[in-house]
Amino acid sequence: MRVLVVDDDFMVAKLHSRYVSAMNGFTVVGVAHSGAEALRAAERLRPDLVLLDIYLPDMDGIAVLRELRAAEERDGRNTSVDALFITAARDAELIRAALRAGALHYLIKPFHRTALQEQLQHVASLRSRLAGLGEARQEDVDRIFGTRPPGSRGLPKGLAPHTAELVERILRENTGGLSATECAAAGTLSRVSARRYLEYFATTGRAEISLRYGGTGRPERRYRWTG
C-alpha cells in the first residue's frame, strides 16, 4: 500500500514515515508539510492512503481531504484515496467533520506506534475484503463497518478487533494452514500475540488445529480457517 504522510512538523512526519515503513506491505511514497504540497503530491503520486494532520500552515487537513475527494470526482476516478487523521486536535466537531469528509479513523497525538500500526492493518483488511467481494452479505458489511448485530458476541478482553481482522485475513489467505510463528511473521506480530488470536478462532470454531510431528520435541500446532 502506497502511503503519503502529511504533517507540518518535519520530525513528526519522519517518525510516522518510519512507523509505516516498518509494516509489511506498506511503502511511504511521499511526505508533505502543507496542504498545498499534499494536494500536489497526491495528484502526482496517487497514493492509496494519506496520513493527515489537522493543523497545517495554509489549510486544515479536513479541507485537504475534501479537495482530494473533489478532484477524484472531477477526474471520474474508479478508485479513491483512503485517509487517516493523525492530530493533536481533540474538538468533537473536528472529529465529526473528519468523519463526514470520509476519514477511516482519527488518532489523537500522542499515541503509541502500535495504535497507528493497528489502523494500517485495519485499512489493509478493509481493502482486501472489498477487493474480494462480489455481492456482499450483511455479515460482510458488518465487518467492513465495524458493527455487530445486537446480541452478537464480541472479542474477549485483551483482544483487539483490528488485530483479529488481520489474523483472520492471514488465515483466509493461507488455505493450507500455518503455524503461530508463520502468522506472526506475516502480520508483523509477536508469536505470543499471534497464537492468542489463532487459539481464539479455534475455540470459536472458525479455525481448526492440526498437529505436525517433527523429529524431536512437541508437535507443531497448525491452524486452518474454516469460517
pLDDT tens-digit readout, 69-125: 999 888 877 668 999 999 999 999 999 999 999 899 999 988 888 888 888 988 888
Which CATH number covers residue 32? 3.40.50.2300
Residues 206, 104 within the same domain: no
Which CATH number covers residue 169? 1.10.10.10
Q: Of the candidates 92, 113, 131, which is a domain's last residue?
A: 131
Let me know the angle formed at the C-alpha of 154 by 148 and 155, rounded to the nearest 5 degrees.
135
- Domain assignment present for 138: no
Q: Of the candidates 78, 111, 131, which is a domain's last residue?
A: 131
Domain that holds residue 47: 2-131
Give the amino acid at 200: Y
Higher pLDDT, 106 or 142: 106
Residues 84, 170 within the same domain: no
Residue 148 in grid coordinates: 455487530
Task: Count Cβ atoms below 10 Å from residue 46 Cβ, excluding itself.
Answer: 13
- Domain assignment present for 142: no
Model's pTM, two decimal places?
A: 0.65
The overall average pLDDT reported for the chain is 87
Residues 117, 44 within the same domain: yes
Average pLDDT (203-210) is 90
Q: Pick from 201, 178, 177, 181: which is nearest to 190 by CA?
A: 181
Residues 39, 92 within the same domain: yes
Residues 43, 117 within the same domain: yes
Is the pLDDT reported for residue 168 higher than 80? yes
Asked if residue 35 lies in contact with residue 63, where contact means CB atoms within 8 angstroms, the answer is: yes
Residue 23 in grid coordinates: 509494516
Residues of the chain above pLDDT 90, percent? 54
- 2-15 pLDDT, tens digit per residue, is 999 999 999 999 99
Q: Of the candidates 113, 131, 149, which is a domain's last residue?
A: 131
What's the total number of domains in the chain?
2
In 36-175, the DSSP E strands lie at 49-52, 82-87, 105-108
- Domain assignment present for 172: yes
Residues 118, 173 within the same domain: no
Tell me the C-alpha distance between 170 and 167, whole Å. Answer: 5
Tell me the C-alpha distance between 79 and 88, whole Å. Answer: 29
Higher pLDDT, 162 or 134: 162
Tell me the C-alpha distance between 59 and 23, whole Å. Answer: 30
Tell me the C-alpha distance between 158 and 101, whole Å. Answer: 31
What pLDDT is recorded for position 40? 96
What pLDDT is recorded for position 184? 93
- Domain assignment present for 165: yes
Q: Is the peptide bond before 161 cis (omega within 30 degrees of 0)?
A: no
